[in-house]
Amino acid sequence: MGLCIQESLVNGGLASEATLRGAFHLLQRMNSEVSFDGSTTPAWREEHDAFHEAAVAACANSWMLKVRSMLHLQNSRYRNFSIFLTSKSLNLESQHRALLEATLARDIEKTCSLMT
């Protein structure tokens, strides 16, 4: 995943930034779809996936994007299952805002660390 975001940050321009900001806005509007225990609705997960897709959209390597997509799908399945096994409270909005800000700043190291 780190390679896709790195390439996207290097290649992305204003259109990429606008897409990412739009995806973040839609995700933020869906915060009411996240329950107190961290479980989410299918609509929220769709916007969440769109936000992460926007973050790597400027990556030109289709093979890396395919591998990233498979890993993201597996991670989503694990996350959806494991959320009920933890009592840790998640602040998803602040996590995604930090990711947005690091990406817009083109801070590769910070963006990669936030994605893991």
Can you tell me the mean pLDDT for 69-93? Answer: 72
Is the CB of residue 4 less than 8 Å from the CB of residue 59? Answer: yes
Q: Kindly report whether the global pTM for this prediction surpasses the value 0.85.
A: no
Give the whole-angstrom CA distance, residue 106 versus residue 37. Answer: 32
Q: What percent of the chain has pLDDT over 90?
A: 60
Residue type for position 8: S
What pLDDT, on a 0 to 100 scale, did the predictor assign at position 90?
67
Q: What is the pLDDT of residue 32?
A: 81
